[in-house]
Structure 1
Amino acid sequence: MKGKIADGEARERLIIWIRRRMDEFGITPDALAASIQHDLDNQPKYRDAKGNDWNGLGDMPDWLRAARNAGVDPDFFRIGQNSEPEPEPKLKRSSTQYVQADLFD
């Protein structure tokens, strides 16, 4: 296990690092909890293929504005809009039978 950090030690180091960053930027545990609660209360409503999302609050983000300006309806990016799978297209049955011809008789 030379050169590797045990899981418990890695966890402790990560906690120390996070606490230092919180102190550095003046983030309190209450502010962090409030931010998490805000995110839970305002789930994203739109998401693109790259993972950009928007909850519908505030100004429309650039990625969605650009898509709209390109003629794409913003509802195309709405999350949960198409929760039901589209039905399979019905194939027309033909009475034609295909047979492999033997070219080397």
Structure 2
Amino acid sequence: MKTRIADGEARDRLIIWIRRRMEEFGITIDALAASIEHDRRHPPLYRDARGNEWNGQGSMPGWLQAAKHAGVDPDFFRIEAKPIAQGGGAQEASGAPRQMDLFG
């Protein structure tokens, strides 16, 4: 039978792991804080079922390009709230189906 790690011990181990990865990749606290602030100012607009996200800035990522080339409308992956037509469900006012935000 496996022994559960106490919450405090698991947290301490996680902090050590994060600090080591930051050191390994040369990530500073300032760079981490700047990245978090950037993410807050530019939340994701698109998300797939695997958790890949895109905030609409820069080039369209490969996962979304592949879906588009396969005939899927990129708006299917849009997670931004839009008005819902009467009757509700996973369809926009335009009648196009879209992915529900399962991660928000």
- TM-score interval, normalised by the smaller of the two chains: 0.5 to 0.7
Query: For residue 99 of structure 2, what is the aligned residue in structure 1?
Result: none
User: Quick one: distance in 2 between partners of 1:50 and 1:3?
Assistant: 31
- Number of positions where the alignment pairs a residue of Structure 1 with one of Structure 2: 87
Gaps of 5+ in 1: 89-105
Query: For residue 77 of structure 1, what is the aligned residue in structure 2?
Result: 77
Q: Measured at CA, do residues 21 and 12 of structure 1 come closer, stay the same or move farther in structure 2, by a change above 3 Å?
A: same
Larger of the two Rg values belongs to structure? 1
TM-score, normalised by the number of residues in structure 1? 0.66
Aligned Cα root-mean-square deviation (Å):
2.3
User: Quick one: distance in 1 between partners of 2:3 and 2:33?
Assistant: 36
Query: For residue 9 of structure 1, what is the aligned residue in structure 2?
Result: 9
Higher mean C-alpha deviation, range 72-81 or range 26-35? 72-81
Cα deviation per residue 1:14-65 (whole Å; 9 max; x = unaligned)?
2122212211211111111111111111111111233222111111111211
TM-score, normalised by the number of residues in structure 2? 0.67
Gaps of 5+ in 2: 89-104
Percent identity over the alignment is 68
Cα deviation per residue 1:64-95 (whole Å; 9 max; x = unaligned)?
1122222222222211354536517xxxxxxx
